[in-house]
Structure 1
Amino acid sequence: MGLTHTLIDVRPLRTSPVFRRLLIGRTASVLGTMMTMVAVMYQVWQSTHSTVWTGAVGLAQALPLIAFGLFAGSLVDRGDRRRLYLASTAGQAACSALLAVQALAGHPPVPVVLALVAAQSAFGAVGGPAAGTFVPRLLAKDQVAAGLALNQIFFQAMLLAGPALGGLVLGWGGVSVCYLVDAVSFGFSFYAAFGLPPLPPEGEQSRAGLRGVLDGLAFLAGHRVVRGALITDLAATVLSMPMSLFPLINAERFGDDPRTLGLFLSALAVGGIAASALSGSLTRLTHPGPVMLCGAAVWGIALALFGLTTNPWAGLGLLVLAGAGDTVSVISRSTIVQTRTPDALLGRVTAAEQIVGQAGPNLGSLRGGLVAGWTSGTTALVSGGLLCVLAVVAVGASTAELRSAKDTDSEPAGAPAAEPPGAPATG
């Protein structure tokens, strides 16, 4: 019985065939997307041999999400989420097919490739918030956290397998084959969502344009629990994202061995998969707030200690621990967002969560690089980890609802906690 409750809760796979089919389809899509990212990086590098242009790939992905994300979330809260997701998936598949066409046509200008990547990301800005509303509608409330944990473990597995498989396919068939595989993978996702029932928002629909966006922001400003969850995630990513520092740390301490660098990059994902696989006891808890805060604190502490270690095996162990803490925090944060946000606002709040997840790591990499340039890799890692822990402590100290199982569990969904007087009505 104890082992059953420790291992990942698979009840959603048994009780909801629709969720099971959707999970398989989206997993195939993530695998294809990871392969495409490898192919895009390779194609841009082969065309330019410039790190500026390869860095622009990440910018092409991030800017559409940041620019259109909240408006896309408002759109999701006005229409049938299933239909919007299907349209978004079809658009992403078309972009992958066009990437394959341009690769077969020869050597197009790099801006053409980046434009297609940006267009695909813009479709994803709609598809992400739409998909983020599915789990609470498909599963019983006591299975939402388990469903999110299943999403997370499959996502982490594809983060590990996707780039490796992409490299193999790239060596065998070239970039065009990677793009075609990605286009086909979106077909699996489309088929899985096609069987969903219509999923219009429950409750008052979002107002059009900027007014709907402002309503969503007013909810985030007034709902202390959801706001605290997103601030915790932003603190963990902006203050302590370590990836940009790995090459420097590897060169300073571990002989610049590329094998060590590769293990550093994989260790975080390994920790995430392990934490997801052993998440059963956590996802059955009714108080995700304290779990989220502890997971984020473990992330920061482990990275600060990694900044001090000189033993590669100890460093790998700390990165595995950091990845586990991050995954626990992500699952708990998503559970808070999914269960504490009224359905009529869930598209906009999920869009904000997606923007934080996309922009936060990029800003964190920039912060780490700047601090390391001014000081050292050790200072950047240690200071970032400690700042993350301080931010988590501040969020927990200022948000009693996140520390209390009773408040987080019993607060009526849709009623902002401690909404300031005169705040505009939310959807």
Structure 2
Amino acid sequence: MSRVNGLLADTTPLRTSPPFRRLWWGLGISNLGSQLTVVAVGLQVYALTGSSLAVGVLGVCALVPLVVLGLYGGALVDAYDRRRVALGASSALWVITALIALQAWLRLDSVGVLYVLVALQSAAFAINNPARSAIIPRLVEPRLLPAANALQTLAWNVALTVGPLGGAFLVALWGYQVAYTIDAVLFTAALWAVWRLPDIPPLSVPEVAPAAPAGDAALGADDVSGVRVAPVGPGDRSGGRRRPRGRVVGWRSVVDGLRYLATRPNVRTTFLADLAAMVLASPRVLLPAAGVVWLGGGEATTGVLTAAFAVGAVLAGVFSGGLSRVRWQGRVIVWAITAYGLSIVLFGLVLLGVGAAQPTTVLVGGLVAACVALALAGASDAVSAVFRQTILQTATPDDMRGRLQGVFIVVVAGGPRLGELVLGAQATWVGEAWAAVAGGVACVVVLWLVLWSQRRFWRYDALHPEP
């Protein structure tokens, strides 16, 4: 029994840090609501226009402010109290979600209004997400960050699995208004969790101070709820007190963050590795054709394939207990992304095996094999995400953490969008099956070329994190 428990997700961060526990529950509940809106907005735009292109424009409306304000939002996080930044951005998100619900109740039936609201929502998210990510290392001890990130990834993938199904069900049963309103109600959980956080001002260069006792090495300022807040990062382990940075925020601050990233090979390699996977081997754009042309079943099969990827990620989170004990985290990232690329190759080979025949019934054997391949890809991606986030949080000094979290958001959001364009173009030329095979192979080859040029990443040691 103890061996089984060792494989299950490590819940120590939830038990030892009440602020993290509240934030985890609050964000998990609100993410579920957010997925309801993502599906409902797409369905509403399609119902108003009958155009898939119009639905695709929603992605552009979300991506542009996410890229621009993701970078600038990170600079804000490094200059101001992170709780206040997150609270302001979360409040804006709640108001925008309420406006989305209001337009549905008023039956405005305006695609332009939806585009504007989605863009505003993405802009607020671009500031909120770096703030929330930079907060996590201040709530748990450094040794618990892999477990905390695994729990965050698990909650996100549960929302990604359940939310779209729930959103489609609510729209079909009661309409867009109800789906949006439920999202607004669920989002109050995130507002409550952020409100209950202690003040978390950014830290800068350590001042000379006596070393803390061994038992208090991971403790910082008092939390308003009576718990202690843990500073993290290589420079935080001494227990020294820190002075806050000045509050001058401009695009020069963003440039400083990018310059800093250019001098930190291990952190930079986490971004390059993720781009290799997302740009070269992101399978989502291939799934509609997989359902219509290759496996049969159309939209229903596409939904099953999409869920398979998320289910794999959820299972990786459920059985993530061993991740908190991993020391050589760079190697795990490399092997996880290698497994991801090979899983996409396997998905392409399954499609080649069944052939493009536009079947009138679902090819059950092929569908099961394709789901297994995508579940393996989802699990590998989840493991990679846990350690990429952990390295970013532990190997980056606190006063740069917000800006690099902003870059992280741009990479995570922009990579799959660019990947859809790349694999979509390849599918037009050689078909979906060969596009998946070629993309998976390219992902693995490029990843190992990156590793060859950044060999220090293979030796990244969680006990001695170096950016």
TM-score, normalized by length of structure 1? Answer: 0.93
Alignment partner of 1:365 is 2:420: yes
Post-superposition Cα deviations, 1:279-302, rounded to whole Å, max 9, x if no partner, equal 111222122111111111101001
CA distance in 1, matches of 2:194, 2:59: 28
Alignment partner of 1:263 is 2:304: yes
CA distance in 1, matches of 2:460, 2:327: 7
Residue number among 278, 282, 286 corresponding to 2:323 in the alignment: 282
Instruction: Map residues 186-335 of structure 1 onto 2, 5 A cutoff.
Output: 186-203=187-204, 205=245, 207-309=248-350, 310=353, 311-335=366-390
CA distance in 1, matches of 2:403, 2:434: 37
Deviation at residue 405 of structure 1 after TM alignment: 4.3
Task: Report the counterpart of residue 401 of structure 2 in structure 1.
Answer: 346
Task: Report the counterpart of residue 54 of structure 1 in structure 2.
Answer: 55
Residues 258 and 116 (structure 1), Cα distance of their counterparts in 2 relative to 1, 3 Å cut = closer
Post-superposition Cα deviations, 1:171-223, rounded to whole Å, max 9, x if no partner, equal 33321121111112221101111111111111063752121111110111110
Deviation at residue 163 of structure 1 after TM alignment: 1.2
CA distance in 2, matches of 1:251, 1:64: 33
Alignment partner of 1:134 is 2:135: yes
What amino acid does structure 2 have at the position aligned with 1:134?
I
Kindly indicate whether the alpha-carbon contact (under 8 Å) linking 2:85 and 2:131 is maintained by their aligned counterparts in 1. Answer: yes
CA radius of gyration, larger in: 2
Task: Report the counterpart of residue 378 of structure 1 in structure 2.
Answer: 433
Kindly indicate whether the alpha-carbon contact (under 8 Å) linking 2:86 and 2:127 is maintained by their aligned counterparts in 1. Answer: yes
CA distance in 1, matches of 2:63, 2:458: 33
Task: Report the counterpart of residue 170 of structure 1 in structure 2.
Answer: 171
Q: Which runs of 4+ in 1 moved over 6 A?
A: none
What amino acid does structure 2 have at the position aligned with 1:229?
T
Kindly indicate whether the alpha-carbon contact (under 8 Å) linking 2:349 and 2:437 is maintained by their aligned counterparts in 1. Answer: yes
Return the structure number with greater helix share: 1
Deviation at residue 258 of structure 1 after TM alignment: 3.7
What amino acid does structure 2 have at the position aligned with 1:217?
L
What amino acid does structure 1 have at the position aligned with 2:67?
I
Percent identity between the two aligned chains: 37
Kindly indicate whether the alpha-carbon contact (under 8 Å) linking 1:247 and 1:256 is maintained by their aligned counterparts in 2. Answer: no
Post-superposition Cα deviations, 1:296-347, rounded to whole Å, max 9, x if no partner, equal 1101001011101133222211111111111111111111111111111111
Residues 312 and 165 (structure 1), Cα distance of their counterparts in 2 relative to 1, 3 Å cut = closer
Kindly indicate whether the alpha-carbon contact (under 8 Å) linking 1:104 and 1:176 is maintained by their aligned counterparts in 2. Answer: yes
Once structures 1 and 2 are overlaid, which stretch shifts more, 151-160 or 96-105?
96-105
Q: What SS is found at the alignment partner of 2:114?
A: helix
CA distance in 2, matches of 1:387, 1:59: 26
Kindly indicate whether the alpha-carbon contact (under 8 Å) linking 2:314 and 2:379 is maintained by their aligned counterparts in 1. Answer: yes
Task: Report the counterpart of residue 442 of structure 2 in structure 1.
Answer: 387
CA distance in 2, matches of 1:67, 1:258: 34
Task: Report the counterpart of residue 150 of structure 2 in structure 1.
Answer: 149
Once structures 1 and 2 are overlaid, which stretch shifts more, 163-172 or 34-43?
163-172
Kindly indicate whether the alpha-carbon contact (under 8 Å) linking 2:66 and 2:126 is maintained by their aligned counterparts in 1. Answer: yes
What amino acid does structure 2 have at the position aligned with 1:97?
A
Q: What SS is found at the alignment partner of 1:77?
A: helix
Task: Report the counterpart of residue 425 of structure 1 in structure 2.
Answer: none
Post-superposition Cα deviations, 1:44-85, rounded to whole Å, max 9, x if no partner, equal 111111111100111111111112211111011100110010
What amino acid does structure 1 have at the position aligned with 2:4?
L
CA distance in 2, matches of 1:237, 1:77: 27
Task: Report the counterpart of residue 99 of structure 1 in structure 2.
Answer: 100
Kindly indicate whether the alpha-carbon contact (under 8 Å) linking 1:160 and 1:269 is maintained by their aligned counterparts in 2. Answer: yes
Deviation at residue 251 of structure 1 after TM alignment: 3.1
Kindly indicate whether the alpha-carbon contact (under 8 Å) linking 1:170 and 1:177 is maintained by their aligned counterparts in 2. Answer: yes
Kindly indicate whether the alpha-carbon contact (under 8 Å) linking 1:41 and 1:54 is maintained by their aligned counterparts in 2. Answer: yes
Post-superposition Cα deviations, 1:134-165, rounded to whole Å, max 9, x if no partner, equal 11100011101100000111110011111111
Residues 34 and 409 (structure 1), Cα distance of their counterparts in 2 relative to 1, 3 Å cut = same
Task: Report the counterpart of residue 410 of structure 1 in structure 2.
Answer: 464
Once structures 1 and 2 are overlaid, which stretch shifts more, 335-344 or 169-178?
169-178
CA distance in 2, matches of 1:411, 1:266: 35
Number of residue-to-residue matches in the alignment: 412
CA distance in 1, matches of 2:169, 2:284: 24
What amino acid does structure 1 have at the position aligned with 2:430?
T
Task: Report the counterpart of residue 359 of structure 2 in structure 1.
Answer: none
Q: CA RMSD in A?
A: 1.4
Kindly indicate whether the alpha-carbon contact (under 8 Å) linking 1:90 and 1:186 is maintained by their aligned counterparts in 2. Answer: no
CA distance in 1, matches of 2:337, 2:166: 31
CA distance in 2, matches of 1:256, 1:170: 22
Q: What SS is found at the alignment partner of 1:341?
A: coil
What amino acid does structure 2 have at the position aligned with 1:230?
F
Deviation at residue 256 of structure 1 after TM alignment: 4.5
Kindly indicate whether the alpha-carbon contact (under 8 Å) linking 2:288 and 2:298 is maintained by their aligned counterparts in 1. Answer: no
Post-superposition Cα deviations, 1:326-377, rounded to whole Å, max 9, x if no partner, equal 1111111111111111111111101111111111111101111111112211
CA distance in 1, matches of 2:125, 2:143: 28
Kindly indicate whether the alpha-carbon contact (under 8 Å) linking 1:32 and 1:162 is maintained by their aligned counterparts in 2. Answer: yes
CA distance in 1, matches of 2:130, 2:143: 22
Q: What SS is found at the alignment partner of 1:99?
A: helix
